[in-house]
Structure 1
């Protein structure tokens, strides 16, 4: 009877270990991978992806590349500023006003990008681009929820 109980416990614990979920690369690793690219490389890759997805013509490709390059340069500058703050040790949680200002700036940028895309793309291409943007947004929201669950799990242990 004792042996059966020990075997059952061993099988259950092995099954629990086998069920552990392997995590993919976390946000920092993905960000680090993208930060290795120059703004020109990032803009080129993004533009090529959009050419494949939206079937862009030459004129559209040039305009979108220019827009992607501007975005990549801005993103690169922001990441460098954040990295400098982090390394200097002056990284603090932003105040309510600062968070509001950052969110407003982000939304203004998104509105400007959407307006530019509307002028560059045809109606069908724009609709397809909007659907892709919505899908990316949903994926990001899902990832944030998963990260929150993982952090909660780690705090319980």
Structure 2
């Protein structure tokens, strides 16, 4: 009887373990960084990729701080809308998209002023590369969900 009980427990344990490995692993949760930490990391990466001098680093650090503050305010506004359970209208969505496009264009113009021609060209190429990677990740997620 004791052996039968142990065998049954072993079987149940193995069966449940086998099911866990077949399921899709949960997305790895990265450690949350503060906006300042993200900006510092981004600045270091840009410095190494674009060979920025000290003056450019200071200007880009300021630009990243401004961008981060604006992004945080957009995030808070969106969160407030979501919590109030108010549906976003098509006009609001279009206005937000237009505002975001303006922010991107403004950021691009500021980067063009800060960087020299070669650095700017390399920066735009890196931006396109990152966009392509994001699009690929989105496609993968859509394919995984279907």
After TM superposition, the score normalised by the length of structure 2 is: 0.74
State the partner residue of 1:131.
Answer: 125
Q: Note the C-alpha offset of 1:140.
A: 1.5
Corresponding position: 1:47 with 2:40: no
The number of aligned residues is: 127
Moved more, 42-51 or 124-133: 42-51
CA distance in 1, matches of 2:139, 2:116: 35
Q: Note the C-alpha offset of 1:150.
A: 2.8
Report 1 or 2 for greater relative contact order, CA contacts < 8 Å, sequence distance ≥ 6: 2
Alignment of 1:1-157 (within 5 A): 22=25, 24-25=27-28, 29=29, 33-34=31-32, 36-37=33-34, 39-86=35-82, 88-90=83-85, 92=87, 94-151=88-145, 153=146
The answer for unaligned runs of 5 or more in structure 1 is 1-16
User: What do the CA deviations read for 1:45-91 (whole angstroms, capped 9, x no partner)?
Assistant: 211111111110000000000000001111122223333444x3425
TM-align CA RMSD: 2.4
The answer for unaligned runs of 5 or more in structure 2 is 1-19
> 8 Å contact 1:42–1:72 — kept in the other structure?
no
Distance verdict in 2 for CA 1:127–1:23, change over 3 Å: farther
CA distance in 2, matches of 1:115, 1:47: 18
Q: Note the C-alpha offset of 1:18.
A: 7.8
Secondary structure of 1:79 counterpart: helix
